[in-house]
Amino acid sequence: MAQIHTSFTDEQVKALFERYLKKEIKRIHVCEVLGIKSRRFFTLLSIYRGDQKNFTITYRRKEATRKINPMVEQNILKELKTEKELIVDKTIPVDFYNYSFIKNQMESKYKQNVSLPTIIKRAKEHGFYIKKPEHKPHTREVITNYAGELIQHDTSMHRFSPYVKEFWYLITSLDDFSRFLLYAALLRFESSWAHIKALESTSLRYGLPLSYYVDSHSIFRFVRERDELWYKHNRTTDEATPQWKHVLNDCKVRVIYALSPQAKGKIERPYRWLQDHIVRLCARDTITDIRSARKILAQEVNQYNYRRVHSTIGEIPYLRFQKALETKRSMFRPLLLKPPFQSIKDIFCLRFDRIVNAYSKVSLNNFDFRVKAPIGSTVTLRIYLNETTGLSEVRFWHADKLIDIQKAKTNDLKILCTFKT
């Protein structure tokens, strides 16, 4: 419909209709001048004939014929108040209102359909609005051509629930090509072992990738100026190998480090949606323990992987991942044990080199083991932890041979910490 009120005044249109009624000009000429079709012409002419004095072409927006249901209004404000409480608490990683999340909550939790503009309007009317700071535009893109070509691996520490004082750690691994989340775990504390278990889980389920992309966290990389107290002072960056990297070296998987905050942001961006939703759902479900929070994590990972169209790739991550595997567009390779390894426990493990003392023993944190190896020789302890039983399987290696297997309580070995050697 032509918006003639933006190009003509009421008096100009009246003059054209007067001339038409006096048969001074034809209808087709009036339509050409006003840029309207016959139906519109006769509609306006009928209105003009009915009330020439008050005739106007000024556009009048009709008032909404439907008012929002009071219960819907109440629930919107309830959700907005919850959002504000999270934003005010500076220990919670929420800095802005997520109106799309509220819309989803209205549909899933309250079974009420409400438009996003309606929620935003109510937010502005009641003071639940924060203008987002302007950021430099960032072009998100997939930099790989194959599934398994690069795995983005990251960890973040936050208070994921306002009802819990402790901080939890979210560890995630994501395939860059498909944006498919291969691994996600919520833990009470972070350790080298936690990240090794992430490697083991991903490798056993999907295979070994070409490379991992991580930041310069001490678990992933030794940096001399930061970590030199833990090492000999004559070692430079990357000369000392962390436990996590030992595993990747044995698997022949390359490690790529993000060397700047900007580069590190590339790792963090895909997880913001996941982290944001976990925090908001924990707040709304009054989560007070990590087990319940893990259930929420599992639900959100399922939503992210199998139901949500990713904004960068324009596809559901799982479908893109499966398509890559089916069309052989993948760099994942099977995890195969090669000599001298005899078990995956020899690869996905913590390892410590020790010297056999005069009593044919080696010591780890004041816990002694008797070994059958020459006195003065070096023995490598490859330790595999069993979280269920609380026992650790210690596999002793000497001269590339497995010489013994012993078990000990993990607590006695005192190795549940963030390892740097």
Residue 292 shares a structural domain with residue 379: no
Higher pLDDT, 234 or 241: 241
116 assigned to some structural domain: yes
Residue 238 shares a structural domain with residue 373: no
pLDDT-derived band at 415, boundaries 50, 70, 90: confident
Higher pLDDT, 356 or 270: 356
Residue 262 shares a structural domain with residue 229: yes
Residue 107, CA distances (Å) to 72, 85, 114, 296 in order: 11, 22, 8, 18
Residue 208 shares a structural domain with residue 304: yes
**C-alpha span between 103 and 107 (Å, rounded):** 6
Cβ within 8 Å of residue 262, ≥6 positions away: none
Q: Which range has the worst mean pLDDT, 179-183, 230-234, 331-335, 381-385?
A: 230-234
How confident is the model at residue 272, as a pLDDT?
79
141 assigned to some structural domain: no
Per residue in 7-17, pLDDT (tens digit) is: 888 888 888 88
145 assigned to some structural domain: no
Per residue in 27-73, pLDDT (tens digit) is: 888 888 888 888 888 888 888 888 888 888 876 555 544 578 899 99
Residue 245 shares a structural domain with residue 282: yes
Residue 306 has pLDDT above 60, yes or no: yes
- pTM of the full structure: 0.74
The 3-state DSSP class for residue 333 equals strand
Average pLDDT, the chain: 86
Residue 225 has pLDDT above 80, yes or no: no
Host domain of residue 17:
4-50
216 assigned to some structural domain: yes
Contact indicator for 178, 151 with CB cutoff of 8 Å = no
Residue 227 shares a structural domain with residue 100: no
How confident is the model at residue 275, as a pLDDT?
87
Count of domains for the chain:
4
